[in-house]
Amino acid sequence: MINLTLIFIAAAITHNFVLTYFLGICPFIGVSKRIEQAVGMGIATTFVMTLAACVTWIIYHFILIRFGLPFLQYASFIIVIASLVQIVEMFIRKVSPALYRALGIYLPLITTNCAILGLTLFMILRKYTFLEGVVFGVGAGCGFTLALVIMAGIREELECCDIPKPLQGAGITLIIAGMLALSFMGFGGLISR
């Protein structure tokens, strides 16, 4: 139980995919303008990360390893992720058309979100069990959502600030992302997993 808690906290905070490994930067910068969009994107990404962890673990251990095909892990993981994103996209379109319209082009970006592929590859490299992989997926998704929502909250507040012209837009966004990464590094001494 303690190991699962450590995996979750490490994936969500100390080894945050966006702020530590710089995976998933495109949606992090693109969807972090409004908190509502950030929460929706974060939940969708968390769901896909968790499902991807489950499905890719099963495929890797019961198909690729059993038949001596581990070299196909990249191709098979990419196909699994793309399929899962299509399922999530159809689900969001049916359940919440407003959220589907709000996410717009960013929903297909989950397909090319390197954080999800990174999650599946890290899970295999770290030799996680199935349960550890699921917890790792949930933790990584929660960490992605946390980083997205924090950035969205800061960017909403910046709209009321007088920012120097050269720093407006991407400049201030990248500076804030760097400061967030530094602040998350402060938790690095807590967990080294």
pLDDT digits (tens, 9 = 90+) for 127-170: 999 999 999 999 999 999 999 999 999 989 888 888 888 888 88
pLDDT for the residue numbered 193 = 54
Q: CB count, 10 Å around CB of 102?
A: 17
Which residues lie closer than 8 Å to 175 by C-beta, 6 or more apart? 167
Q: Give percent of the chain above pLDDT 90.
A: 47
87-110 pLDDT, tens per residue? 888 888 888 888 787 766 667 777
> What pLDDT does 106 receive?
67
> Does the structure show a pLDDT above 70 at 28?
yes
The b-or-e profile of 146-179 (16+ CB within 10 A means b, else e) is bbbbbbbebbeeeeeeeeeeeeeeeebbeebbee
Instruction: Give CA separation, 133 vs 41, 120, 128, 171, in Å.
Output: 21, 8, 6, 36
What band does 27 get if pLDDT is binned at 50, 70 and 90? confident
Q: What is the pLDDT of residue 169?
A: 80
Structure confidence at residue 192 as a pLDDT band (50, 70, 90): low
Report the C-alpha gap between 119 and 50 in whole angstroms: 9
CA dihedral 120→87→50→176, nearest 10 degrees, is 80
In a 13 Å sphere around the CA of 111, the CA atoms on its Cβ side amount to 12
Say what the pLDDT of residue 62 is.
96
pTM of the complete model beyond 0.75:
yes
- Tell me the range of 63-72, 100-109, 167-176 where mean pLDDT is highest: 63-72
- Tokens standing for residue 109: 């970006």
**Alpha carbons 122 and 137: distance in angstroms, whole number:** 10
pLDDT at 73: 94
Query: Averaged over 169-186, what is the pLDDT?
Result: 88
Q: Is 11 exposed, middle or buried (0-12, 13-18, 19+ CB in 10 A)?
A: buried
- Residue 71, judged by CB atoms within 10 A of its CB (0-12, 13-18, 19+), counts as exposed
Separation of first and last alpha carbons in the chain: 15
Decide if pLDDT at 76 tops 80.
Answer: yes
Measured distance CA(45)–CA(107) in Å, rounded: 9
- Confidence bin at 188 (pLDDT 50/70/90): confident
Q: Which residue has the higher pLDDT, 29 or 103?
A: 29
